[in-house]
Amino acid sequence: MEEKIRPSGPGRRAVVAAASVVPGLRSIAFRLRRQRISRRYLRGEGLEIGALHRPLPIPRGVSVRYVDRMDVADLRAHYPELRDEQLVEVDIIDNGETLGSQPDASVDFIIANHFIEHTEDPIGALANQLRVVRPGGILYLAVPDRRKTFDADREPQPLDHIVRDHRGGPAWSRPIHQEEWARLVEKVVPKEIPARVQWLEDHDYSIHFHVWDPDEFRLLLEFARDQEHLPFAIEQLARNDHEFIAILRRT
């Protein structure tokens, strides 16, 4: 289970204990799978959102600018558990859910690995990423499989929930997710949960707001395409160890 980013604070020990160590070979296979799919689909110039310590390997001749919600110094403070890792230099500080700094149809691809689960409005995030990608371009999304990470004790959120986050705005569900994160991921004892939720809010801590397995994620994609009329085709949905990789082509 290669999920290095873990919450700091009272729940950290439990989360660390829940994560198993990845044997070397498994880790190499994981990286090669990401790389093979990258070689197959990525051309031209693009963006990677939230690369952090694990930028996607890209084919020769392809160029990427790196987007994150904060600079490297702030990322280091946010993720103290990555102190021994090299972090990618951030080229563009922006909210990856809205990409307000990026013009329409301005890149050939967007990579967003282990990012969509951090979004409060996943349908809105997909819509904005598709807005920025040129027709024919690619969204490369690796998503942790909730059954195989520290999210294993969480229930999947119903599709209705994500639709409500999109149509009415996600403010209503933010404290619900923070409570769920404290209780089921960090395993904070009940009497300390309110204080932990307040800490998460005060630090704008980047929790997994939503979690999926591959079938649940496909349902979300089909809903976004067929009911929200987002312009994309599903090229591939491939399992890769504790994650799955969705390749969407902008139509």
Binding residues for ligand SAM (CB under 6 A): 5, 49-52, 54, 68-69, 75, 95-97, 113-115, 118, 142, 206
Nearest residue (CB) to ligand SAM, 80 versus 135: 80
Strand locations in the chain (E): 45-49, 63-68, 92-93, 107-112, 133-144, 232-240, 243-250
Nearest residue (CB) to ligand SAM, 78 versus 164: 78
CB of 228 to ligand SAM, least distance (A): 20
22 CB-near residues (< 8 Å, 6+ apart): 1, 2, 30
Nearest residue (CB) to ligand SAM, 51 versus 58: 51
CB of 189 to ligand SAM, least distance (A): 26
Q: What is the sign, positive or negative, of the torsion defined by CA atoms of 248, 224, 68, 237?
A: negative
Q: How far is CA 238 from the centre of its chain?
A: 16
CB of 226 to ligand SAM, least distance (A): 26
Residue nearest to ligand SAM (CB): 50
CB of 144 to ligand SAM, least distance (A): 8
Distance separating alpha carbons of residues 161 and 18, to the nearest angstrom: 27
Report residue 101 as tokens. 């700094």
Distance separating alpha carbons of residues 156 and 152, to the nearest angstrom: 10
Strands 63-68 and 232-240: unpaired
CB of 161 to ligand SAM, least distance (A): 19
Nearest residue (CB) to ligand SAM, 74 versus 104: 74
Nearest residue (CB) to ligand SAM, 112 versus 188: 112
CB of 229 to ligand SAM, least distance (A): 24
Which among 220, 224, 115 is positioned nearest to 158, based on CA atoms?
Answer: 220
Nearest residue (CB) to ligand SAM, 120 versus 136: 120
